[in-house]
Amino acid sequence: MSALPPVSLPLIPRSSCDGIRWPAFTDAAASRLLALQYQLEQSQWWPAERIEAMQLAQFQAVYGHARNTVPFWRDRFANAPAHIDSMAALRALPVTSRREIQQAGEAMHSAAPPQEHGPVVSTRSSGSTGEPLQTLGSGWTQLLWQALLLRDHLWHRRDLGGKLAAIRNRSEAAHLPDWGPATAPFATGPSAVRAVSGDLDEQLDWLVAENPDYLLSLATNVQALAERSLERGIRLPRLKQVRTFAEMLRPETRPIVHKAWGVGIADSYSAEELGTIALQCPEHDHYHLQSESLLVEVLDEAGRPCAPGETGRLVVSTLHNFAMPLLRYANGDYAEAGAPCGCGRGLPVLKRIIGRQRNMLLRPDGKGRYWPSFATSVWLHIAPVEQFQVVQTAIDALELRVVCARELTAAECEGLAAALQESLGFRYAVTVTRLAEIARPRGGKFEDFICALEP
């Protein structure tokens, strides 16, 4: 396959040597990122069979290290074969849950992480499900995650000379001279950062003042900002693209953003403990797994690989984390497997990321769970709903929490309940509760549906 199409501006690396502009003499950090990018540019076009073979070889390296230096894995794999040379052998290994990793604590830590991998660093997941996870990584894993972010910039041919505005969870307000360490090889425009806290009008006024070329924020926050922009008649004249992360991107978000600002969305799927899991294809709305970093399985309830179009749980193995390897780790997320991509990349496809089991609705007819879809656009014609959240409180009962500027009439509450029942296909008992605010959890991820029942 040919190389990537040219970006909108020629990307000439930034030289760190005074007086040398071209060819650039890059510093150590930029050189490592460029060397990784050179390899990633080639491996994305490999056939799926070659990618899988390289993954298995790398899995064997971290698997052997885990068996020898990590107490938890030493015990877990005591009766497992020493060598994993096929996907069948890998799938014979037990799946490990998030709760098991939490309970293992320091028994998950390697007693001898390789020094050449750089310093050991600690990360903590947001705990949006109520189960925060403390994990370790290394300088090498951090570098690889930066390389994958740079890949995302290159895939979507972003103008790195533009201005980036980021509205993130747990962020201090700041104005920075560049886009961060992932773009170290290149000169970039400035960036502005603020926290997702604060009302929509405040965030929108901030965006107007910053007038960015690119916006990065959580998916639900982007949709709310776009809807508010439409209400206020606000445009962002320089905006070229919106980037979303951290939450499931609902299907209606893309058309709303395009209507409000005239741009598309590039979504990504990541986790604090795993780094970048999948990036949106530059030619389609589906996602490519980042197979150079992780080995990701999409499995049905029987533990078999899902065929394209089937939905299953994700089981992930880190391929380079020797400080705290996560092997066949069920992170709690579900996704729909996709067919090979027409773009020509051999990286496996996720058609869509669906969510967690706590975001699955329990059916009153006893036929299990499913992911709900809400007719949110219909609700706006019934009542002035600014924000909503649905909570399943009993097998046949839902609470619809709404934020509205005024009290709702009885007819509006009945209309909202009827619309929700029609969307879900069951006549749940619906209670409508008006709130002043539906706060995001500490981790910043907003969930529009929560099943409060025990699994």
- pLDDT at position 77, please? 97
Q: What are phi and psi of 328, to 5 degrees?
A: 50, 55
Domain final residue pick, 261, 281, 301: 281
| Residues 26 and 169 both lie in one domain | yes
Both structure tokens of 341: 């991509």
Both structure tokens of 222: 């982007």
398-419 burial code (b ≥16 CB/10 A, e <16): bbbbbebeeebeeebbebbbeb
- CATH classification of the domain holding 188: 3.40.50.12780
- pLDDT at position 448, please? 75
d(CA 34, CA 106): 35
Both structure tokens of 447: 């969930």
| Residues 256 and 371 both lie in one domain | no
Both structure tokens of 343: 């773009």
Domain final residue pick, 249, 281, 313: 281
How is residue 171 annotated by DSSP?
A: -
Q: What is the DSSP string of 332-394?
A: EEEEEE-PPPTT---S-EEEEEEEEGGGSEEPTTSS-EE-----HHHHTTTS-EEEEEEEEEE
Are 193 and 176 in contact by the 8 Å Cβ rule? The answer is yes
- pLDDT at position 360, please? 65
| Residues 244 and 377 both lie in one domain | no
| Residues 264 and 365 both lie in one domain | no
- pLDDT at position 85, please? 92
Peptide bond into 23 cis (omega under 30): yes
Distance of CA 375 to the CA centre of its chain: 24
| Residues 137 and 245 both lie in one domain | yes
Instruction: Quote the crossing angle between the two packed helices 219-232 and 253-261, to the nearest 10°.
Output: 40
d(CA 69, CA 78): 13
d(CA 226, CA 235): 9
E strand or H helix at 194: strand 191-195
Residue 127 gets the label, from left (phi > 0), alpha (psi -120 to 50) or beta, of: left
Considering just the CA atoms, what is the radius of gyration of the chain in Å? 23
Q: Does some domain include residue 106?
A: yes
Q: Does some domain include residue 347?
A: no
Q: Does some domain include residue 18?
A: yes
Q: Does some domain include residue 52?
A: yes
Q: Does some domain include residue 37?
A: yes
How is residue 185 annotated by DSSP?
A: T
Q: How many Cα atoms are found within 13 Å in the side-chain-facing hemisphere of 334? A: 16
| Residues 396 and 265 both lie in one domain | no
| Residues 367 and 272 both lie in one domain | no
CA-based nearest residue to 413, from 395, 434, 439, 437: 434
| Residues 106 and 12 both lie in one domain | yes
127-163 burial code (b ≥16 CB/10 A, e <16): ebbeeebbbbbbebbbbbbbbbbbbbbbbbbbbbebb
Q: Does some domain include residue 296?
A: no
Partners of 327 in the β-ladder: none
Pairing mode of beta strands 385-394, 449-451:
parallel
Report residues of the chain scoring pLDDT below 70: 1-10, 124-132, 170, 198, 355-360, 367-378, 380, 440-446, 454-455
Three-state SS at 142? helix
Report the Cα–Cα distance between both ends of the chain, in Å, rounded: 46
Q: Does some domain include residue 244?
A: yes
Domain final residue pick, 281, 303, 326: 281
Domains in the chain: how many in total? Answer: 2
Are 110 and 325 in contact by the 8 Å Cβ rule? The answer is yes
AA letter at 395: I
| Residues 271 and 370 both lie in one domain | no
- CATH classification of the domain holding 378: 3.30.300
Q: By residue range, what is the domain housing residue 404? A: 361-451
How is residue 82 annotated by DSSP?
A: S
E strand or H helix at 12: none
Q: Does some domain include residue 307?
A: no
| Residues 143 and 232 both lie in one domain | yes
